[in-house]
């Protein structure tokens, strides 16, 4: 698959690892001195996705709006790591940047850079009526300079259940700069497929919507939440949630099955 936008500064080419064209492409890029970023990931059929106990719900980078601590969203830090902020508990509605409002037009779901999942109020109603477990909602606001905070017809999707720490058999997840709390500093290198593994016993209390105990991504926290860059947990949802998003016409999200081992 090749994606080329008129104003793009890069092109996305998707090929199977065993495709002969991949080898030829890399040779051409090397010969012409063209740099590239390689991302490896697993592909799954609908049957495999439906059979998974949980799926990692990955954000759509094209539908990402800026929101979170630097926009005025507040957090309770009493049980959070004093060094990295992992475990911060959100206490207010999600506030997003007014400059990003146009990114929500024509969409039914979006995310923030902190992997917060936002859905329009109609999709929120469908999720609520579905009886999905482990689910709660917060309002979504934007801040206008003269008009103050204005509520949007969107809701933030929140998980009430945190999974136990992942199994050490997980691959493609590396401690890039592991915090002393062992909860943040994890990275997912693009050149290694992400394969999140849990023990069979970890599923005793799963819900339809869960988050990981581990927090991923960069972090910068020196005691001031308003100036913080938090890492974030990943969303783990059942195939039921994926079906709801799919039936609502939501595209652009990646769904990656977790793996289960007996330990």
Residue 253 in contact with residue 60, Cβ under 8 Å?
A: yes
Higher pLDDT, 65 or 17: 65
Instruction: Give pTM, 2 decimals.
Output: 0.85
Task: Identify whether residues 25 and 50 lie together within a single domain.
Answer: no
Q: What is the pLDDT of residue 10?
A: 66
Q: Do residues 79 and 203 share a domain?
A: yes
Q: Are 13 and 68 within one domain?
A: no
Question: What integer is the mean pLDDT of 174-201?
Answer: 87
Domain with 7, as residue range(s), is 2-31
DSSP, res 137:
E
- pLDDT of 188 strictly over 70: yes
pLDDT at 4: 44
Give yes or no: residues 110 and 79 share one domain.
yes
Same domain for 59 and 178, yes or no, is yes
Contact call for residues 99 and 123 (beta carbons, < 8 A): no
Q: Are 51 and 115 members of one domain?
A: yes
Residues 174 and 97 in one domain: yes
Total structural domains within the chain: 2
pLDDT digits (tens, 9 = 90+) for 58-99: 876 667 899 999 999 999 999 999 999 999 999 999 999 999
Do 52 and 23 sit in the same domain of this protein? no
Give the residue among 106, 114, 121 at the shortest CA–CA distance from 65.
114
Q: Is residue 155 part of a domain?
A: yes
Residues 194 and 81 in one domain: yes
Residue 20 in this model has a pLDDT that exceeds 50? yes
Residue (of 50, 94, 54) closest to 235 by Cα position: 54
């Amino acid at each position: 698959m090749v994606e080329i936008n008129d104003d793009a500064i890069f092109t996305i080419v998707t090929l199977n690892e065993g495709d002969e064209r991949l080898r030829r492409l890399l040779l051409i890029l090397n010969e012409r001195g063209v740099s590239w970023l390689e991302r490896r990931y697993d592909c799954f059929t609908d049957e495999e996705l439906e059979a998974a106990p949980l799926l990692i719900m990955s954000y759509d980078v094209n539908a990402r709006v800026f929101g979170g601590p630097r926009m005025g969203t507040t957090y309770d830090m009493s049980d959070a790591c004093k060094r990295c902020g992992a475990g911060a508990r959100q206490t207010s509605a999600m506030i997003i940047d007014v400059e990003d409002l146009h990114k929500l037009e024509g969409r039914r779901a979006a995310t923030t850079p902190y992997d917060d999942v936002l859905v329009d109020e109609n999709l929120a109603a469908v999720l609520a009526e579905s009886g999905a477990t482990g689910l709660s909602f917060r309002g979504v606001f934007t801040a206008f300079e003269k008009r103050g905070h204005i509520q949007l017809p969107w809701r933030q999707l929140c998980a009430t259940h945190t999974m136990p720490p992942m199994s050490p058999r997980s691959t493609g997840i590396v401690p890039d700069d592991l915090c002393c709390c062992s909860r943040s500093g994890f990275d997912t290198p693009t050149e290694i497929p992400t394969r999140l593994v849990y023990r069979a016993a970890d599923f005793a209390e799963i819900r339809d919507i869960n988050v990981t105990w581990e927090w991923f991504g960069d972090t910068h926290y020196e005691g001031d939440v308003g100036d913080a860059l938090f890492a974030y947990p990943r969303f783990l949802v059942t195939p039921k949630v994926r079906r709801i998003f799919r039936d609502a016409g939501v595209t652009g999200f990646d769904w990656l099955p977790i793996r289960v081992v007996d330990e």
